[in-house]
């Protein structure tokens, strides 16, 4: 009888470990290239817009979170520059100690988990960047920017920012059981920032190749205990042969061992979408690049990016990624030339930045008034960001 029981218990235990103990769904949400568009407002046309604004993306974020048990939210940069609110904050109003940049008033409310730096973060200089970033209630990462130490030996270069973070999170499996999981998040910027913002970075910062940096840090993240590794390149997707120090390195990055998800950006395009359907190794139906689940959610808040991972954790706490998909959701759709809203703005986000928003509008009305009416109406039609600076 004793022996029989023992044998039975053995078979039962074997059954548990092979059939798999627990399946966990993890949803990773991404915003990118917000370019200071918090409010759903076109400052050039001086009227509301249904096609821009983190206030509208926020509604998608809340919906996407409510559908799942486990999610994290990551921003991929190009955050503090790119519209009149950004210029107003950096050049007109400034940030005094204790001031909170309006982008972080909004993002702190949305409880972001991690932020990554984009190339445009360096447009107003390092002092303004640091004064902005210290308002974030969440960590920032960037792995391929280093202090310029004046020598050519890259092996001893010191990172300027935290290259990655490993988040300790408690997640709930499909049976309602809790598990701890370590989620590693690593950020990348186009190496070209040292040329594009030479005035701000010369003698202070240098950059390394994105793929080389990934090969250095991803094994280290695994050694540090990361069960899941998410790469956040502020970098587009190109299948042209890599030349080294590539601006758009997401495709090459997808082939680096040890990655479970890629949240990318910089190109101001949407992935997955038909535009990428013909690329070798890309599955736009599933949202994968060389088998890695990936998303790129447009620009100015136009879309929310989603990566849905299906994970398995065994009784020893060992995690395996079983499957992953990438997708996006838009804040509006097109009907011919018309843009039709798919969500309302989150009023709490709009309210959080209402002072800076109102000040920017009066700043713009004053500034545009000096250039004359014909130029004003022309700008309003084309809405070109670089033209307005002339």
Q: How near is the Cβ of 202 to Mn ion at its closest, in Å?
A: 22
CB 191 within 8 A of CB 144: yes
User: From CA 318, how far away is CA 157, in angstroms rounded?
Assistant: 34
User: From CA 8, how far away is CA 1, in angstroms rounded?
Assistant: 11
Q: How near is the Cβ of 78 to Mn ion at its closest, in Å?
A: 3
Establish if 269 lies at the interface with Mg ion (CB under 5 A).
no
**Residue 283 binding: pick among Mn ion, Mg ion, none (C-beta 5-8 Å cut-off by kind):** none
Establish if 187 lies at the interface with Mg ion (CB under 5 A).
no
Classify residue 326 as exposed, middle or buried by CB count within 10 Å of its CB (0-12, 13-18, 19+): buried
**Minimal CB distance residue for Mg ion:** 266
| 279, two tokens | 């690329």
Sites of contact with Mn ion (CB under 5 A): 33, 78
Establish if 37 lies at the interface with Mg ion (CB under 5 A).
no
Q: Which of 266, 269, 303, 357 binds Mg ion (CB under 5 A)?
A: 266
Return the range that interacts with Mg ion (CB under 5 A); candidates 71-79, 94-102, 300-308, 309-317.
71-79
Return the range that interacts with Mg ion (CB under 5 A); candidates 5-13, 66-74, 111-119, 248-256.
111-119
Q: Which is nearer to Mg ion, 79 or 171 (CB)?
A: 79
The residues, any chain, with a CB within 8 Å of residue 249's CB and separated by 6 or more, are 188, 209, 210, 211, 233, 235, 242
User: From CA 208, how far away is CA 121, in angstroms rounded?
Assistant: 17
String marking each residue 116-145 x if it binds Mg ion according to CB under 5 A:
--xx--------------------------
Backbone angles phi, psi at 249, to 5 degrees: -110, 10
CB 305 within 8 A of CB 326: yes
Establish if 227 lies at the interface with Mg ion (CB under 5 A).
no
**Residue 119 binding: pick among Mn ion, Mg ion, none (C-beta 5-8 Å cut-off by kind):** Mg ion
Establish if 260 lies at the interface with Mg ion (CB under 5 A).
no
Q: How near is the Cβ of 120 to Mn ion at its closest, in Å?
A: 6
| 181, two tokens | 């999981």
Taking CA atoms, 86 is separated from 52, 117, 224, 309, in Å, by 15, 15, 37, 35
Return the range that interacts with Mg ion (CB under 5 A); candidates 63-71, 112-120, 241-249, 352-360.
112-120
SS3 182: strand
Q: Which is nearer to Mn ion, 38 or 183 (CB)?
A: 38
Establish if 78 lies at the interface with Mg ion (CB under 5 A).
yes
**Minimal CB distance residue for Mn ion:** 78
**Locate tokens 């020893």: which residue?**
316
- Contact residues toward Mg ion (CB under 5 A) are 78, 118-119, 266
């Amino acid at each position: 009888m004793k022996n029989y029981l023992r044998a039975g218990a053995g078979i039962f235990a074997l059954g548990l470990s092979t059939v798999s103990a627990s399946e966990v769904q993890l949803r990773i949400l991404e915003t990118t290239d917000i370019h200071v568009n918090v409010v759903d407002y076109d400052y050039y046309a001086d009227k509301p817009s249904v096609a821009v604004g983190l206030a509208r993306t926020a509604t998608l974020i809340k919906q996407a979170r409510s559908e799942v048990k486990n999610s994290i939210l990551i921003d991929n940069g190009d955050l503090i520059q790119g519209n009149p609110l950004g210029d107003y904050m950096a050049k007109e109003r400034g940030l005094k100690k204790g001031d909170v940049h309006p982008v972080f008033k909004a993002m702190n409310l949305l409880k972001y988990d991690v932020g990554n730096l984009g190339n445009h973060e360096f447009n107003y200089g390092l002092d303004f960047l640091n004064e902005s970033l210290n308002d974030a209630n969440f960590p920032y990462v960037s792995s391929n920017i280093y202090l310029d130490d004046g020598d050519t030996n890259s092996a001893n270069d010191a990172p300027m920012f935290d290259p990655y973070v490993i988040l300790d999170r408690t997640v709930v499996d499909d049976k309602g059981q809790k598990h701890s999981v370590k989620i590693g998040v690593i950020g990348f910027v186009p190496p070209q920032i040292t040329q594009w913002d030479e005035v701000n970075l010369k003698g202070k910062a240098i950059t390394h190749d994105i793929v080389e940096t990934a090969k250095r840090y991803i094994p280290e993240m695994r050694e540090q205990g990361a069960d899941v590794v998410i790469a956040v390149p502020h970098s587009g997707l190109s299948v042209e042969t890599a030349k080294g120090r590539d601006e758009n390195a997401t495709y090459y990055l997808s082939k680096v061992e040890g990655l479970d998800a890629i949240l990318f950006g910089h190109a101001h395009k949407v992935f997955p979408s038909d535009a990428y359907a013909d690329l070798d190794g890309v599955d736009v139906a599933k949202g994968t690049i060389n088998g890695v689940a990936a998303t790129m959610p447009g620009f100015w808040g136009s879309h929310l990016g989603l990566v849905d991972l299906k994970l398995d954790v065994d009784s020893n706490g060992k995690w395996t990624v079983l499957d992953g998909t990438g997708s996006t959701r838009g804040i509006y759709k097109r009907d011919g030339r018309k843009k039709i809203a798919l969500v309302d703005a989150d009023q709490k986000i709009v309210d959080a930045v209402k002072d800076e928003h109102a000040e920017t509008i009066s700043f713009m009305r004053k500034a545009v008034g000096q250039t004359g009416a014909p130029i004003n109406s022309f700008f309003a039609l084309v809405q070109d960001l670089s033209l307005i600076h002339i």
